[in-house]
Chains A and B, each alone.
Chain A
Amino acid sequence: MSEKIDGNEQKSEETRIGVFICDCGSNIAGHLDCKAVTEYAANLPGVVYAKENLYTCSESGIGEIQDAIKTHKLSRVVVASCSPRTHQPLFQSSCGHAGMNPYLFEMVNIRDQCSWVHMEERDMATLKAKDLVRMGVAKARSLEPQQDMESPLTHRVLVIGGGVAGLSATEALADMGLDVVIVEKEQAFGGILKGLHRIGPEGKKAAECLSELIQKATTKSNVTVYHGSEVEAVGGYIGNYDITIRSAEEEAVQEKVGCIVVATGAVPFQPDGLFCYDGEGVITQMELEAQLLSGQTIPKRVVMIQCVGARFPEREYCSRICCMIAVKNALFIKRQDPDVEIEILYRDMQMYGTEKERMLNDARGSGIRFDVYDPDQPPEVVDGLVRFYQPLMGQTRELPCDLVVLSTPLVAREDTVRLSQLMRIPVDKNQFFLEAHAKLRPLDFATDGIFVCGSARYPATVVEAQSQGLGVASRVATILFKDKLITSALVAEIDPETCVGCLGCLDMCPYGAIDYIPEKAICRVNTILCKGCGCCAATCPSESASLRGFKPQQLLAQIRAV
């Protein structure tokens, strides 16, 4: 069994450990002897109370822990049940509510990593559970109380980009009472929406929609607007970002914000050299929008070609909104003038959702023709004619036409890489910004306090960009609606007395959380940036760097108790 580690633990207080062994119904008790494990735990050094629960995480189980903390004056609690990845926060905060320092809680995994993986070996599983509990108790004995860390928050948000997503986020944040700084690169707000004619599926005028958005977002007293400006430098960290904003004419401005919203959007791909694109007889959907906007008459025979510059080896992704744009424009033209013949050549129609599906149905019903083409034999645009191979019929067809419209994808902006380096946020292989998790954290970056919405992340419709903007606003609110930023105390620390400033930890830190203080010739941990990986502690030759909760004596206690 474990011996004393370094002699100076448990001086001031008597260590009184309570151990709770969970049956998890039959999940644990069905495959190992929980009673024997509980009896074993009761006799481990420092343990004054051991209890078997049917379900430790149930209300009654939690109640038993909290009662025991009070009646048995427990200073540390060990729960042997499922995984700390799922249940540690619950148990830890419950202990905290009962008056124990939550950092003196330790969890032992005897379900996911014991009973469930040794279902046919009851004796060996019981033995392993005892070992694991002994290791947990040994670690609990060497744990140290900690306090959650508090740091100040700047209740101000930076929104980069004044398109639909950025304006929606700005409006929502300002309505919540937060100060917003919105930076738009161009002189006018709106991004792509500026050049659009109408918005699907209802066909509302884009200009009306935009002026409404701008009005709502930028005229509030708590919104500071920077036109024709770019973010030049970003320093600091969540709660306290220092931003430098530069415009062409004026001096650089400094702003201090707590969170950053990236809503920089994307740009339509220019199909130079593809399908005889010339901007006159062969145009893009964006150029068609401009023609519709100016009220230009559309010629009688129109062919639209989908997936131009998309879904081929160099640009594999589907921009997913171009099908909807083509159908929307075709429908509008057809309704204005039913004599116009429109043929849409596609590879696959991406019309997701009931509204877009209805648009497609309406389009087919109104006489717009759809024909599939083979990407290996793409359509050819020759003078006044589109020739294409129809794979289903096995025939080559020729469509006389007066106007060819190419549907091109949205692609990432050129300065995406510069911004990603500025804020240390990742981009995917297509240079779109990459969220922390596609399903669980779609609007967050892995970097705390920075969020993404709209086409900067992936091509989005107006409705999607709006809802993502609202979503981001509520993500920001979860941070900035608190008085202070509260973070876990389980981060690294460097002992200034023993650090010799060798800089070994500086390069190892994956989060850039260590600074060198030249005056003192030592390194120091920025506890807000630190994610508690402990790479510095593993590197430090003088053992000055250590990771709270995983200090050598705590890990060694576990190793010794195996």
Chain B
Amino acid sequence: MSQQFNPKMIAFACNWCAYSAADLAGVSRFQYPPNVRIIRVMCSGRINPNFILKAFEMGADGVLVAG
């Protein structure tokens, strides 16, 4: 592994908007860095702070809640 900082990102994405947008980015062949892992939820309202803290605790460098 290189020594360069390669942040690990976790994104919680709403099924109806942000997750669809991520699909659309794919359909449109937008290219973005491969270090984000998207977790689908039915609504961003499902995400309470515990999940975000847990993500950081498990080693995430950044957390995105999108919805």
> B-contacting residues of A (Cβ < 8 Å)?
83-85, 109, 111-114, 116-121, 124-125, 127-128, 131-132, 135, 490, 508, 510, 531-535, 537-539, 547, 550, 552, 555-556, 558-560, 562
Contacts and interface: CB of A to CB of B under 8 A. Distances in A.
Contact of B40 (A84, A111, A535): A84
B12 to A, nearest CB: 8
B23 A83 contact: yes
Interface in B44-67: 45-48, 50-51, 54-55, 58-60
A560 B54 CA distance: 8
Given A85-B23, A113-B25, A534-B43, 19 more contacts: A83-B23, A84-B40, A109-B40, A112-B25, A113-B38, A114-B34, A117-B30, A121-B34, A124-B34, A128-B35, A135-B39, A508-B45, A533-B43, A533-B45, A552-B51, A556-B51, A559-B55, A560-B58, A562-B58
Contact of B48 (A85, A135, A539): A539
A117 B58 contact: no
7 contacts: A83-B26, A85-B23, A128-B37, A131-B37, A558-B39, A559-B58, A562-B37
- Nearest first, the 7 A-B pairs at minimum CB distance are A534-B46, A112-B26, A533-B43, A535-B45, A116-B26, A538-B48, A124-B34
Contacts of B20: 85
Contacts of B23: 83, 85, 109, 112-113
Nearest to A139: B39
Q: With a 10 A CB-CB cut-off, give which of B30, B34, B38, B47 has the most chain A CB atoms.
A: B34
Contact of A116 (B29, B48, B51): B29
B9 to A, nearest CB: 9
B31 A120 contact: yes
A79 to B, nearest CB: 14
B19 to A, nearest CB: 7
B19 A116 contact: no
A534 B32 contact: no
A118 B23 CA distance: 13
A555 B10 CA distance: 12
Contacts of B48: 537-539
Contact of B43 (A118, A124, A127, A535): A535
A37 to B, nearest CB: 14
Contacts of A537: 46, 48
A556 B54 contact: yes
A128 B38 CA distance: 11
Contacts of B22: 112-113
A110 B20 CA distance: 14
Contacts of B27: 112, 116
A117 to B, nearest CB: 5
Contacts of A132: 37
Nearest to B11: A113
Contacts of B59: 562
B59 to A, nearest CB: 8
Nearest to B26: A112
A260 B24 CA distance: 35
Contacts of A539: 48
Q: With a 10 A CB-CB cut-off, give which of B15, B32, B48, B55 has the most chain A CB atoms.
A: B48
Contact of A117 (B31, B45, B51): B31
B42 A547 contact: yes
Nearest to B57: A559
A119 B20 CA distance: 19
A128 B30 CA distance: 17
Contact of A538 (B30, B40, B46): B46
A530 to B, nearest CB: 11
B10 A547 contact: no
Contacts of A85: 15, 19-20, 23
A17 B51 CA distance: 26
